[in-house]
Structure 1
Amino acid sequence: MIEVKNLSINYGTNNIAVNNVSFSIESGNIVSIIGPNGSGKSSLIKGILGLVRASKGNIIVSGKTENSYNIGYMPQTPRFPTNIKVRELISFFKKLEEVDKNRFEKLYSLLELKHHMDKKIGSLSGGTKQKISILQCFSAKKDLYVIDEPTASLDPYISNLLKKLLIEQKNQGSLVLFSTHILSEVQELADRFLLLSEGTILIDDTPKHFLEKNNKKSIDEALMNFWNKEYKTKL
C-alpha cells in the first residue's frame, strides 16, 4: 500500500511541480500515472522514489517511510556504466541485493540475454539495455514497482513479456505504478489511473468507470470528452 499525504514538491519559490497531492492505493493493484509534459508526473515519481525531497507532506509505502521501503524501479532510459560487460553488471546487481534465484533464471531465459553476456554495455541497443533493466528490476520481490514509460523502446515480444510481468507482480500482492503516454496501456493494464495537470490530480478513477461515465469506448476519447466538457468549463 502507498499513502501520499498532502505532498508538495517545489523547485524554488515560483516553481511548484506537485501541489498538495494526496491519494492512497492498496497493494495488489496496477495504477497508471498520466499527464502532459510539465504536469508534475515525473516529479511525483521522483518524490516516491526519494530522488527529490518533498517541500511538504509525506509518502508511506507498506507502513514504511522514505528510505526504508522496498521499491523496484525501471526508468524509461536505463543508464548503466558503458565500459563494463553485461555479466559484470549483472554480477554487481546480484551483490547489491539478494535476488530470487527462480525469478532470475526465468527472466534471464525469457529475455534471451545469454548471447550478450560478454558484450560491453556501451555496444548494446536501447532495447537490450531495457532487457537488463527488466532483469534488474524484477529479479527480487518488491512491495512497490515504479515503471516509467515501460514499453517505449521495446519490441512487441518484450513489450508483451513486460506487461505479463506487471500483472504477475500485481497478482503476487505487489503494487505497480507505471507512467505512460500510451493511453491504450492504461485501458489494458490499469485498475486505476491518476491524471495530473499543473501539479494536481484532475482525475482519480478506474478506466472502466471513467469510460462508462463518458459513454466512450477508449480512454483517448473519454479524456478528450472530459477535457472539452468538464475541465475547460471550470477555467
Structure 2
Amino acid sequence: MIEVKNLTIGYTGNSAVVKDVNFSTEPGTILSIIGPNGSGKSSLIKGILGLVQPLRGQINFLEKKSEPHTIGYMPQTPRFPTNIKVRELISFFNKLEPVEEDRFQNLISILELNNHMDKKIGSLSGGTKQKISILQCFSSKKDLYIIDEPTASLDPYISHLLKSLLVEKKKEGSLVIFSTHILAELQELADRFLLLSEGTILIDDSPENFLRKNNKSNLDQALMNFWNEEYKTKL
C-alpha cells in the first residue's frame, strides 16, 4: 500500500507543480494517472520513485511484502548506454537482481530480442529499446510497478503483451501505477484513476463509477462532459 499525504513538489525558480496531493492505494490494484501535458503526472511519478525531493508532504510505503520495498520502473523513453550490445546489457540485468531463469528467457523470446543480441543499443529502434525496458522491469517480481506511457512506440502485439503483464502482476498482488493518454487503455485496465490538472487531483474514481455518474458509455465522452462543466465553473 502507498499513502500519499499533502504531497507538494516544486523545482528551483518555479512554482509548485504538484500541490497538496492526497491518495492511498491497495496491493493488487491497477491505478492510472492521467492529465494534460504539464498537469504534474511526471513529477508525481518521480516523487513516488524518490527521484525528486518533495517541498512538503509524505509518501509512505505500508504493508511491505519484502524488505526493502521493491519497485519496477518502465519510463516513457528508455535510456541505456548506447555503446554496449544488447547481450551485455541483459547480462548486467541478471547481475543486478535474481531472476527466474526460465521466465526470463521466455520473456526474451516473446519480446523477439534474440535477433538483436549482438547489436549495439544505439543502433536500435525506439520500439526495440522499449522491449528491453519491459524485460528489465518485469524480469523479477516486484511489490510495485510504475509504468509511464506504457504502450508508446510499441507495436500492437507487444502492446497486448505488456497489458497482459500488468494484469498478471495485479493478480499476483502487486500494485501497478501507470500514466497514459490513451483512455481506452485506462478503461480496459484500471481499477481506479486520478485526473490531474495544474498539480491537483480533480477526479479520483473507478472508470465504471465515473461513467455511471456521467451517464456515458466511454471515457472520452465522460471526460469531455466533465471538462465542459469544469470550464463553466471558472467563467
Paired position in structure 1 for 2:82: 82
Q: Contact between 1:28 and 1:173, CA under 8 Å: does it hold in 2? A: yes
- The 5 Å alignment of 1:29-68 reads 29-63=29-63, 68=68
Paired position in structure 1 for 2:208: 208
Q: Distance in 1 between matches of 2:115 and 2:25?
A: 40
Paired position in structure 1 for 2:219: 219
| Cα distance, 1:10–1:68 mapped onto 2, change above 3 Å | farther
Q: Contact between 1:103 and 1:138, CA under 8 Å: does it hold in 2? A: no
Q: Distance in 2 between matches of 1:200 and 1:99?
A: 38
What SS does the corresponding residue of 2:17 show, helix, strand or coil?
strand
TM-score by length of 2: 0.95
Equivalent residue letter for 2:185? E
Paired position in structure 1 for 2:166: 166
What displacement does 1:42 show? 0.6
Paired position in structure 2 for 1:106: 106
Paired position in structure 1 for 2:117: 117
Q: Distance in 1 between matches of 2:63 and 2:22?
A: 16
Paired position in structure 2 for 1:234: 233
State, as a whole percentage, how many aligned pairs show the same letter: 73
Aligned length: 232
The one-character-per-residue Cα deviations of 1:158-192 (angstroms, maximum 9, x if unpaired) are 00000000000000000000000111111111000
Q: Which stretches in structure 2 are left out of the alignment for 5+ residues?
A: none
What SS does the corresponding residue of 2:8 show, helix, strand or coil?
strand
What displacement does 1:10 show? 1.3
What displacement does 1:14 show? 4.6
Structure 2 residue 9 is matched with structure 1 residue 15: no
What SS does the corresponding residue of 2:231 show, helix, strand or coil?
helix
Q: Which stretches in structure 1 are left out of the alignment for 5+ residues?
A: none
The one-character-per-residue Cα deviations of 1:206-229 (angstroms, maximum 9, x if unpaired) are 000000110111111100101112
Q: Distance in 1 between matches of 2:216 and 2:105?
A: 43
What displacement does 1:13 show? 6.0
How large is the Cα RMSD of the aligned pairs?
1.4
Q: Contact between 1:62 and 1:69, CA under 8 Å: does it hold in 2? A: no
TM-score by length of 1: 0.95
| Cα distance, 1:6–1:68 mapped onto 2, change above 3 Å | farther
